[in-house]
Every structure is written in structure tokens, then in C-alpha cells.
Chains A and B, each alone.
Chain A
Amino acid sequence: MSPMKTRRSSKHFSPVAAVLRPERQLHQIGATVLRLAKERGVPETEVHVDESIYALTRFANNAIHQHVAEQGLVVSVRTVVDGRTARVTTNRVDENALRAAIDDCLSLASNQPKDPQLLPMSGKQKYRVVHRFQPATAALTAEERARAVKGACQLAEKHSQMAAGIFSSGQSQSVLVNSRGLTAAYRQANATFSITMQQGSAASWAKANSGDVRQFDPLELAKVASDKAARAESPAELEPGKYTVILEPAAVLDLVGFLFYDFAATAVADKRSCFSGRVGKALLGKNITIADDVYDPHQLGAPFDGEGVPRQRVVLVDRGIVKSLVYSRCSAKQAHTKPTGHGFALPNEYGEAPMNLVVGGGKTSIEEMIASTDRGLLVTRLWYIREVDPYEKIMTGMTRDGLFRIEKGKIVGAARNFRFNQSVLEMLRNVESLGPAQRATGEEAFEMVVPPMKVRNFNFSEVTKF
């Protein structure tokens, strides 16, 4: 994709983008909490300090109708006294407020039974360096986003279409310190452009998300959505049934993304994961390999978890075999293994989860998948996906914004949207070909790296009216 071409300056009204505080100020807040807690005689204290700046330009009917900005800093304190812990979070950072947060935390923690599984806090750690703060993204202004939106709206008007979507940009930083000497820090920037083009009763969609706003071009995305919306008119009503489908990356993401918590060791121990009793088994197709890898160049995210443990790359599924799970410090101890750096901030009941899934791809392009399909459907995106059966991982949901009929290797028109009821496990046994993996963004799962897939026998159960 080409760099965005919307940067302009204005002398009239566009303020410069807000900037994050110097990192040392967050460390100072953390140090203040540790000092105040020590004065209170607290044996162990952990402090998260998180700052975020976020802005979003929202448009519909070819005009901006919502346009927002926010900035905030949050301090989250966890104390441990005699095997009891609790967390108190506040966005007030004066010493009195921080002292009150510590007192509240001690009060909460003291009124519960002792937790025999609670571990001492981690000591000092070493982290792999990641550079995920792109100044060009952080510097994006309201006016620059508005001008990009205006370009997309003008394209829509040119084609007698209606554009709706968002252009957002944000930056954030986190500092984690504890009384055992652990110190971790991270900052990133992030931008998203999403657009729906409506033509009559038809619609299509395109979306990109990146740490570097120069990696996508809003106008190019608008063109993609516009072209597909034009082809989505006059959808034919097909009979429900099992179809060969070509799932674009956003559709793959939003389905496969629902597996993320099933890979948590705590979920398996609680017997609520679809992998309970199945670790080590060949559950998926041999062409499916899934890892969790925060260091993948397409990923964003901190190189440490909620307790400050360094994140590791973990191969979860190796050529169809469920190979490993991810572990927090607590679940690792229960399982007599080592933590993988995927724990949530304590205290919590969920344990851990892989937040940076990377599904291995292949070399088949979407065009080649279409060309090799005698009869099938191309799926742009999926919508309102919910779990019907947790162990077979049957998910239901709808196709949305561009479902296209394929006959004899070519797209021949659009189809009315279908409801699916499909086991994700079965789907990943029925993958015929994969495209190159890429950073994908949808609406149901958080961003991950996934390929497009051609899947046989995808189960559509009912059809809607459009």
C-alpha cells in the first residue's frame, strides 16, 4: 500500500497532536506509590501506570458526524499482605489519592481468605526491545484525519455511494514496577481506517490497522470498498447448505480469534476450553500452524505480561497438533512448567491468554483460490459471531458487506447474506489452501496475523433478506 497523502498543515484551527508525558514521569508516579506503600509497611506492592491519547474521526452519509479526542492516565495498585491481594485503580495521581488507593487496596485484601496459590511478586526481568512508537502516527491531527475522510466521502459521492467509517489514531505508554525491583516500560502508536461503502441496498467494507499510519492509504481502502459495493448489488438468494468458501483475512481473524482463550492453561485446567483433554492430539489440519508471537513484525503489544514476565513465542498448534498452551506464573506452577509471559494482571480468575496469535500462511493468492473454485462463495467479513457450543467450538454469525458467488473460477455476482453455524475446529480441518499471512483487523477479535483461507464444507444454515 502507498503512504497516505493527506498530510497538510493549517494555520487556522488544527492544534498539534497531543503528546505523551516523558516516561520518567510515569516512573516517578510508580516510585511514589512504592514509597507510600513502604511507609504503610506493605510487604509487596505492584504499580501499573498507563497513559493513553486517542482520537477518532467518525463519518457517515458522506460527512463527519462524530469527532472525539481523549487523554488519560490511570494508576493501578496491587498490594500483597500475608497471602492476600487486591487491586485498586484510580486516575487521580496526587499523593493523597495514591495513599487512599493503597489504603483501599489493603482494606479489600484483608477481608478475604488467604490464597495458598498466590506467589511472591516477580523480581527484576530482562526484556527484548521492541520499537513500536511511530512518531508519524502519534503526530496525526484532527484536521489531517478530517481531510482524509473528506477524500473518501468525495469518492463515494462520485460513485453515488454513501461512505461511513472511522479514522482513528492513538498513542499509549505503560510502566510497571514492583517492590521487588521489577521495572518494565512500553509505548506504542496505532492508527485505524475503516470504511463501509453503501450503494443502494448493497454495501462493502475495507479496514486497515497499523502502528505506522503510512502503511495504509485511506483513499485506496475507500476504492476497494467502493468497487466491491458496486459488485454487491442485486444479490441472488441461494439455498442454505455446505459451501466452499474463500475467507478474506478479516473473516478468518474474526472466527479463529475466538480460539484465543482456549489456549490458556487455566481454561484447560478449568475444563472450559475446547482443548481440554485434547492437548497433544491432531485436532486440526496438517496445514494449520498457530503461534503466539508478540515479536512478529506485524504485531503490536508490550514484550511483558500483566505481572511483568517477558513474553515468549509459543507454538500452540504445530501442523495440526495442539502442542502447547500459554501459562501465567500461577498456572505454570500448578502445571510444573515455566510461565510463558501471557498472564493477566492479578488478581483475576482467567489466568492468561495468547494476545498475539500468528496463523501460518501459504502461497495461494485470493485470485488463485477463486480461479480454482468451481462453485463457492467469497466472504468479505463476518458479523455478530457468538459461541453455540464451547467444546466443538461451534460458532454462529452472519456474513456481511460483500458475499460473492463464484462459479467456474470466476466471481459471477453477489449473494444474500447467510447465517452460519460452523465448528471452528472442523473448519481448520477443512482448509484447502492458504494465502500469505498478514496483519488483519475486523470487529469481533483483536488484531492478529492470519492468512486468507479456502475452506470446504462451510455450513450456512439460514439466509436473511438482503
Chain B
Amino acid sequence: MWDFCGHSLEVARLRGAPYADVRVMHLRQRDLTTKSGRVGTLGQNESIGLGIRVVANGAWGFASTDQLTREGVAACAAQAVAIARSSALAKKENVQLVPEGTYVDSWQGPCLKDPFEIPLETQLELLLAADAAMRKVKGVTLSETDMQFRKIDTWFASSSGSKIHQRRFLSGCGIVATSFQGEAIQKRSYPNSFGGQHVLGGYELIESMELLHHAPRVGEEAVALHSAAQCPEKTGTLILGGSQLGLQIHESIGHPIELDRVLGQEANFAGTSFLTLDKLHNLRYASPIVNVVADARIAHGAGLGSFAYDDEGVPAQRIDVIKDGEFTGYLSSRETAHLVGLPRSGGTMRTESWNRLPMIRMTNVSILPGSWTLDNLIADTDDGIFMDTNRSWSIDDRRYQFQFSTEIAWEIKGGKRSRMLKNPSYSGITTEFWNSCDAITNAHNWVLWGTPNCGKGQPMQVMGTGHGASPARFRNVKIGMAFSNQ
């Protein structure tokens, strides 16, 4: 692979590109699903190719190819340079990159049990057993399970001399029970909705999730939701479960801090951000108990946003995003870092595949744990609603106004969790919401959740991001607006 990297860089140099970087990626994926006792998807996918990014005439060009021959990668490099020159027809200023070191390294992420070596029969047996356990519950009309495994090898080289190989295993699984009764569809998922939990790691994740143990409860809750009371419409106290808080972080902190959005580069599709440059170190984003970091280092945990180097060859870092409630940092790249006075990129450029351009993406954007136990937090809440497991999410294109709904909620009365509520939702304005946070539970409740389906960019790229979170409490939140006036 290094030969293809080196040859394409050399062709780019000879064609007049003063800077180039190249990625050869080999992606392998296995997808398993079941539905109501039958195997659904059963497939494997393999993709290998090369993508090269160049600066020529002061502008960017990118081309990719699956022709891994010397001729194929040379033609690809030449195409990238030609594209860069045509980009220069509509440029305003030359591309500038902040300095970065040169690295020659090889790294492999954690993986105790290679999921591709685990017999498929074992994997399907577990899914079909969980599927059956959910369907045993009277009233469950649809049961679904899934597992997904990925193995990604990346060979990165740059004209500056870096040569970095990384291998990452990604694993995920989840189960879902759906119940249709009368005029309503209710659903429960475990360990999270929309594909379950995903981490950087191997089959050990699947084993730790205990899908079979949780399947009956998931089925029972899906059915019980039909006879639960409707979530009221009011302004009040809200406690969010960890996975829902993870998605709240993703949408209302993770995306607004992406510098490419802030600078208008995503204005046509993903949108911009309310976090204009004047707000850095000048905005009370959240209450003083809130601390949020973007941390790609493995020391933070084995998340979907963990790696050793980003796809620009910048080492993984920890960035303070919110410190004691104050806004302190953006996600940056080598091209954007200098615009906020940073001497170095924050190392957040990531690409979905060999045929996609690296772009600023979340790594693991996590809220640091507080000091409360969950029991104490509930006992301390006189009147509130505990919402868990996302059902829908939506936020405006500058990331101010959001609305989330969850699969399930419970009323909290007099410090005790009481009756179940159906169709829960809450909404708000980002900074008002985060400033209303008055309690965060401790490290015992903190989980590094994986969001495997973050879409961004044109052409669209789907990226996995990590979000460490533990249940937390928010005051004076608008609740129940999703079903208002229906």
C-alpha cells in the first residue's frame, strides 16, 4: 500500500502540487439483522481504494480510485491536480495550513475478540434468541435485532513525510420491540435506538450488552406504553437518561462547535452555527457545573471517535469545549485552526472512506461526570419527568432551537420514580437549556455512547461519533410540545 501512496504523492508533486496527502483504505463490514424470527440482512462488504487530496494553484482538489495499480493511482493523482487547478478559477485566497509534525507510526485500536473470527452461527443464535424473547411478550407485533462489525485499515501518507497505518475494529448491536394496538405504534429499544450501542472494539461489546437478558423487559415496556398516560404539556424539571443526553450533546454542542460550519462552509446543506467567532471565551454556554471535552484519545475511552491520528495525520487530542460553563474551544483542522488563533489543528479531520474528502467531524464529544448518584438525583427531585432512549431529534440549521422525543418516560413525584408516560418530548433553545442544568450524575453512570449515523458533507458522509454522558437534570424545560395542538 505504501508504494501506491508514495507513487501518487510523487505524481502530484511532479504535476505541480506543493502539498498532497493520500489515504489507502480497506474497509470490511458484516451486517446481520433478524425480524420476527427470520434472518433479515445477512451480508458482508469489502471496499478498497485510494483517495488523494492536493493543493495546486493555491486551491484544493481531490480524486479517488479503486484501480490500485501504479497506472491507476498515477491517473488519480493527475486528476486531483487538474481538479485543484479548476478550483482556482473560483478561489479567494490560497489554502493555508498550520504546521504539523511528521509521523511514522502504526496503531491498532482495542479489540479483544475479532468479530469476523466469531462463528456466524454464534452471532445469529444470539440475535434469534433475543428476537424470540421479545416476541414471547403478548402484544409485541414486531421484533428486530441487529449486529454490525467493521474492520478499517488506513494507510495515510503526506508530502510532508508522514506515514501512518491505523487499524480500527468497530462493533455494534441492538434490539427493538414494536407494538401496534388500536390507533398507535409504540416501540422500545435496547441498549439504544437506531442501531443500539456502537464502540471501538470487538465482539466483547456484544457479550457485555446481555441482549437476551434485556429482551423480555424491552418487549414488556413496548406493550405497556399503550396503557401509559400521555406525557403532559408543561414547563418543568427534566432528567435525561445517558443515551439521550449523548444525542443532546451531539446536536446542540457537537455540531455547533465545528469550525467549518461556523465559517459558512456548510451553509448550503448541514447549516451554519450560532457560535460565531466572537463567542469564543465570551459565552456562558452552560451552567458552571457543565464541562464538555472533545477527546479522540484512547484514554477517554474506546468510542467511535477514538483514534491515534486524524485523516490529516494530526495526533489525537483532547479539546476543552465547555469549561465550567464557559465556551472555550472549536473543532478545527489544519486549514481552519489559524482563524481562531490556534497554532495547531485540533485533529478532527475524518473521512468515511477512501473515496471521500476528510472534513471536520466530532470525535468523542462528552460531558464530564458530576457527583450525584442517580438514586440521590431522583430522591432530590420533587416533581419531574425522566426521559430515556431517543425516538426523534431535530434542530434548526444554526443549532439554536431543538426538539427531541424519547421512547419512554416516568413521572418523578416526591423523590420517587412513579407512573410510566408515553409520547414524551421536550424542546428548547440550546444555551438556555444547557444553562438550566443543575445536576449531573457520577462516573458510575457515565457511558461512552456511540452515534454511528452522523451525516454531513456533500457528497454525504456517514461518520461514527462518541458521546460520553451520564444522566443529568435540567430545570424549567418545555415538555410535551410535539403533541401540542394535534
Seen from chain A, the residues whose Cβ lies within 8 Å of a Cβ on chain B are: 12-15, 54-74, 85-92, 101, 104, 107-109, 111-113, 115, 117, 141-143, 145-147, 149-150, 153, 162, 164-166, 168, 194-196, 198, 203, 205, 241-242, 270-272, 276, 347-350, 383-392, 394, 396-398, 400-401, 417, 419, 421, 423, 443, 459, 461-466
With A142-B82, A348-B41, A394-B483 already in contact, the answer to whether A70 and B400 are too (CB < 8 A) is no
Partner among B79, B142, B268, B429 whose Cβ is within 8 Å of the Cβ of A205:
B268
Q: How large is the interface on B (under 10, 10 to 19, 20 to 34, 35 or more residues)?
A: 35 or more
CA distance A110 to B84 in the complex (A): 49
- B394 and A386: CB pair below 8 A? yes
Q: Shortest Cβ distance from B216 into chain A, in angstroms?
A: 20
CA distance A111 to B82 in the complex (A): 49
- B44 and A111: CB pair below 8 A? no
Among the stretches B2-10, B61-69, B308-316, B370-378, the one at the interface with A is B61-69
Q: Which residue of B lies closest to A465 (CB)?
A: B400
CA distance A67 to B48 in the complex (A): 21
- B48 and A91: CB pair below 8 A? yes
Does B213 reach chain A (CB closer than 8 Å)? no
Partner among A58, A85, A384, A461 whose Cβ is within 8 Å of the Cβ of B458:
A58
Q: Shortest Cβ distance from A224 into chain B, in angstroms?
A: 14
- B61 and A67: CB pair below 8 A? yes
Does B124 reach chain A (CB closer than 8 Å)? yes
Interface centre among A12, A14, A421 (most CB of B within 10 A): A421
- A384 and B485: CB pair below 8 A? no
CA distance A453 to B125 in the complex (A): 50
The proximity string for B residues 103-118 relative to A, scoring 1 for CB distances below 8 Å and 0 otherwise, is: 0000000000000000
Chain B residues within 8 Å of A423, by CB? 486
Among the stretches B177-185, B294-302, B342-350, B410-418, the one at the interface with A is B177-185
- B90 and A59: CB pair below 8 A? yes
- A443 and B269: CB pair below 8 A? yes
- B269 and A271: CB pair below 8 A? no
- B482 and A70: CB pair below 8 A? no
With A421-B482, A459-B485 already in contact, the answer to whether A72 and B394 are too (CB < 8 A) is no
With A63-B91, A143-B86, A384-B396 already in contact, the answer to whether A86 and B264 are too (CB < 8 A) is no
- B43 and A91: CB pair below 8 A? no
With A195-B268, A349-B144, A389-B423 already in contact, the answer to whether A68 and B482 are too (CB < 8 A) is no
- B397 and A383: CB pair below 8 A? yes
- B42 and A270: CB pair below 8 A? no
Q: Which 3 A-B pairs have the closest CB atoms?
A: A349-B40, A464-B401, A271-B180
Given contacts A398-B397, A400-B271, 13 further A-B contacts (CB under 8 A): A12-B85, A13-B81, A57-B87, A60-B263, A61-B264, A67-B61, A69-B64, A72-B355, A87-B44, A88-B45, A196-B267, A389-B483, A419-B427
CA distance A337 to B459 in the complex (A): 39
The proximity string for B residues 404-424 relative to A, scoring 1 for CB distances below 8 Å and 0 otherwise, is: 010000000000000000010
Q: Would you give 6 A-B contacts (Cβ < 8 Å), ordered by A?
A: A62-B92, A107-B120, A349-B34, A397-B394, A421-B403, A461-B484
- B62 and A67: CB pair below 8 A? yes
Q: Which residue of B lies closest to A51 (CB)?
A: B66
- B142 and A272: CB pair below 8 A? yes
CA distance A392 to B486 in the complex (A): 10
CA distance A198 to B267 in the complex (A): 9
Q: Which residue of B lies closest to A73 (CB)?
A: B66
Chain B residues within 8 Å of A390, by CB? 185, 187
CA distance A112 to B264 in the complex (A): 50
- A168 and B393: CB pair below 8 A? no
CA distance A465 to B276 in the complex (A): 14
The proximity string for B residues 235-274 relative to A, scoring 1 for CB distances below 8 Å and 0 otherwise, is: 0000000000000000000000000000111111101001
CA distance A124 to B128 in the complex (A): 35
Partner among A150, A162, A166, A349 whose Cβ is within 8 Å of the Cβ of B33:
A349
Partner among B43, B356, B405 whose Cβ is within 8 Å of the Cβ of A89:
B43
Does B170 reach chain A (CB closer than 8 Å)? no
Partner among A89, A270, A461 whose Cβ is within 8 Å of the Cβ of B45:
A89
Partner among B61, B81, B398, B483 whose Cβ is within 8 Å of the Cβ of A466:
B398
Q: Which residue of B lies closest to A463 (CB)?
A: B401
Chain B residues within 8 Å of A419, by CB? 394, 396, 401, 403, 427
- B141 and A271: CB pair below 8 A? yes
Q: Shortest Cβ distance from A329 into chain B, in angstroms?
A: 15
With A64-B87, A69-B79, A111-B120 already in contact, the answer to whether A462 and B486 are too (CB < 8 A) is no
- A108 and B43: CB pair below 8 A? yes
Partner among B78, B93, B180, B266 whose Cβ is within 8 Å of the Cβ of A276:
B180
CA distance A205 to B397 in the complex (A): 13
With A195-B268, A198-B267 already in contact, the answer to whether A142 and B427 are too (CB < 8 A) is no
- B46 and A92: CB pair below 8 A? yes
- A70 and B264: CB pair below 8 A? no
Interface residues of B in 23-70 (CB under 8 A from A): 33-36, 38-49, 51, 59-66
